A and B are shown apart, each in its own frame.
Chain A
Amino acid sequence: MAALDLFESRLREESMRKRLRIGSGAGYAGDRIDPAVVLAEEGNIQYLCFECLAERTIAIAQMEKQADPGRGYGQFLEERMEAVLPRCARDGLVVVSNLGAANPPAALEKTFEIARSLGIGGVRIGAVTGDDVLEAVRSENTVVVETGGFVRDLGDRLISANAYLGADALLPALQAGCRVILAGRVADPSLFLAPMIHEHRWDLEDWHRLGAGTALGHLLECAAQVTGGYFADPGVKDVRDLENVGFPIAEIDDDGTGILTKVPGTGGAVNLGTCREQILYEVHDPASYLTPDVTADFSAIMLKDLGQDRVRITGATGRPRPETLKVSLGVRQGYLGEGEISYAGRGALARARLAGEIVSKRLERRGFRRSEVRVEYIGYNALLGFLAEASFSAPGDVRLRVAARAEKKREAERVGEEVENLYLNGPAGPGGARKTARPLIGIYSAHVPRDRVKPRLMIRDVP
């Protein structure tokens, strides 16, 4: 019996060693860089995926590309590549990312230069394009989901149109042996699903496995949000060492089930609470989580806490993928003007309210529509409105914030100026006025037939 146990535990160890391990190196464009380095150095992972492209980020990148054809790739591309390229060359770590943003070919050139400057050779870099469908949606009768109008009627307000590519678009790069893959718009979980499909040789119509793998990809895509970030609430949900939070790793079996964990010794936690909250994050119907790859079903997902920051994930499945691809449209929406100023001590809230009324009246006189002006009191009701007002007593430290939308930048700047003017013209005891005005980019969506989107792969070898 003991011998059999020993045999079984050896067998388990063996399969552990071979098990596919994928790390999540970033959960948004500006995310920390050092946790990805820890994953690359100590994570014992074969793949490191970076999700760095929010909906708005690609529209901004598109504007950068229009201004300079050599730019428009992801923010911090250089720093991230400098941090992980040595590991790609030395241990065969494969980096999968959407760091190409609006310009994957430019990201490829930049990464090539960085590899050369670091003296790194023998690395194949791939750029995946084809997500940019701006010309196609302009020339066809594509409908905007949110407005019901045609995309072409958005005219020059339309900045960008990018289809969400699926895992299938990344497979040629993996098959070609790329160590660094730089794509543009790819559905977040697909970045993680692609290496699972590639390593486990899953069929692209094996909906059950694709759904199960998508659940793991979904848990990984926001990085620290499953390892204790966006979770801590002192005294209720305590999390250790968030200043050193470890980014997540998934160990994935051939059947699509897996274990979520992190590098031992890093901060944060992987437990039932963190995994439960993250599996439903940004999910609507948990039985129909749509990606370009599959209609994933998390409605019977099971989590088992194995201890030591290891949680086993089973029970996710899937059904056939949607017939069309979702397109994210970046649309110019004028400018946002903002101003803030603080009041403290006795009567702070009353003085802040008086200040808010003064600015509202002044903005109305300037032609701002009431529906496009927001007045809130930070420290009192800015985040939760009446729900916070009802629950908590009036604070002795209140910050007025006024935000308003305008067509022209100069108009938007008036908002902050009116707030700043309160120093001399408003209630007693103001402090710390700040003002900003910035372009607003709205995001709309549309759907295009799959045959309108043709992913392409560019390869460059660093000799």
Chain B
Amino acid sequence: MMKKVKLYEIAHSRAGDKGEITNISLFPYAEEHYDLLREQVTARAVKSHFGDLVRGEVVRYEIPSIQGLNFVLYGTRMGGVSSALELDAHGKSLSFGLLEMEVDLTEAGNGYR
């Protein structure tokens, strides 16, 4: 049986901004979930998850020494923090947007948290 969970259940995340670009890091709570994140949380999947919240491309970097993934989202805030119209002009809340994404835990067992 498929076991789908929100990323929030197995990972934590932080967003940062530089101009119109947001970066979102992602780390599993349990080391054994890193490969699952690598396989399922691809740049393409993240771009599709955020839909029209990201106008440009999404690039992913892997940092295996700290079990990290870093997503760079181009075009999230027109004009950057200082002239964006959004209430969250920084885009700091977008990390919790990423954590709303679903992944399939079927292969990973039930050892999370």
Q: A residues touching B (Cβ–Cβ < 8 Å)? A: 55-56, 146, 230-231, 233, 236-237, 272-273, 276-287, 298-303, 315, 333, 336, 372-374, 376, 378, 382-388, 391, 401, 403-405, 440-443, 445
Q: A387: which B residues are within 8 A, CB to CB?
A: 49-50, 53, 97, 100
Q: A284: which B residues are within 8 A, CB to CB?
A: 18, 21, 23, 59, 61, 70, 72
Q: A281: which B residues are within 8 A, CB to CB?
A: 14, 16, 23, 25
Selected from A276, A278, A282, the residue in CB contact (under 8 A) with B23 is: A282
Known A55-B82, A303-B66, A442-B80: A273·B12 in contact at CB below 8 Å: yes
Q: B59: which A residues are within 8 A, CB to CB?
A: 284
Selected from A233, A276, A282, the residue in CB contact (under 8 A) with B66 is: A276
CB-based nearest B residue for A333: B83
B93 x A384 contact (CB < 8 A): yes
CB-based nearest A residue for B91: A383
Known A284-B72, A333-B83, A383-B93: A279·B66 in contact at CB below 8 Å: yes
B79 in contact (CB, < 8 A): yes
B1 in contact (CB, < 8 A): no
B51 in contact (CB, < 8 A): yes
Q: A378: which B residues are within 8 A, CB to CB?
A: 87
Q: A405: which B residues are within 8 A, CB to CB?
A: 83, 85
A440 x B97 contact (CB < 8 A): no
B17 x A282 contact (CB < 8 A): yes
B43 in contact (CB, < 8 A): no
Q: A300: which B residues are within 8 A, CB to CB?
A: 65
Once the chains are docked, how many angstroms separate the CA of A401 from the CA of B63?
Answer: 39
CB-based nearest A residue for B16: A282
Once the chains are docked, how many angstroms separate the CA of A277 from the CA of B65?
Answer: 13
- The contact sample of 17 A-B pairs, CB cut-off 8 A, is A277-B25, A279-B66, A280-B16, A282-B23, A284-B70, A284-B72, A301-B65, A333-B83, A336-B83, A378-B87, A382-B87, A403-B85, A403-B86, A403-B87, A442-B83, A443-B82, A445-B19
B50 x A56 contact (CB < 8 A): no
Q: B93: which A residues are within 8 A, CB to CB?
A: 383-384
Once the chains are docked, how many angstroms separate the CA of A55 from the CA of B65?
Answer: 31
A280 x B65 contact (CB < 8 A): no
Known A285-B61, A440-B82: A277·B27 in contact at CB below 8 Å: yes
Once the chains are docked, how many angstroms separate the CA of A282 from the CA of B15?
Answer: 7
Known A384-B97, A443-B80: A374·B86 in contact at CB below 8 Å: yes
B83 x A441 contact (CB < 8 A): yes
Known A384-B94, A387-B97, A443-B80: A280·B14 in contact at CB below 8 Å: yes
B57 in contact (CB, < 8 A): no
B27 x A273 contact (CB < 8 A): yes
B104 in contact (CB, < 8 A): no
Write the nearest CB–CB distance from A317 to chain B, whole angstroms. 12
B81 in contact (CB, < 8 A): yes
Write the nearest CB–CB distance from B67 to chain A, whole angstroms. 8
CB-based nearest A residue for B9: A236
CB-based nearest A residue for B82: A56
7 nearest A-B residue pairs (beta carbon): A282-B16, A374-B85, A280-B25, A277-B14, A383-B93, A56-B82, A281-B16
B88 in contact (CB, < 8 A): yes
CB-based nearest B residue for A279: B66
CB-based nearest B residue for A403: B85
Selected from B12, B21, B96, the residue in CB contact (under 8 A) with A277 is: B12
B83 x A280 contact (CB < 8 A): no
Known A233-B12, A391-B100, A443-B80: A302·B86 in contact at CB below 8 Å: no
Q: Which of A231, A276, A302, A333 has the most CB of B within 10 A?
A: A276
* Contact indicator per residue, chain B 5-44, by CB within 8 Å of chain A (1) or not (0): 0001000111011110101010100000000000000000
A441 x B21 contact (CB < 8 A): no
Q: Which of B68, B85, B94 has the most CB of A within 10 A?
A: B85
Selected from B17, B19, B63, B72, the residue in CB contact (under 8 A) with A299 is: B63
B80 x A278 contact (CB < 8 A): no
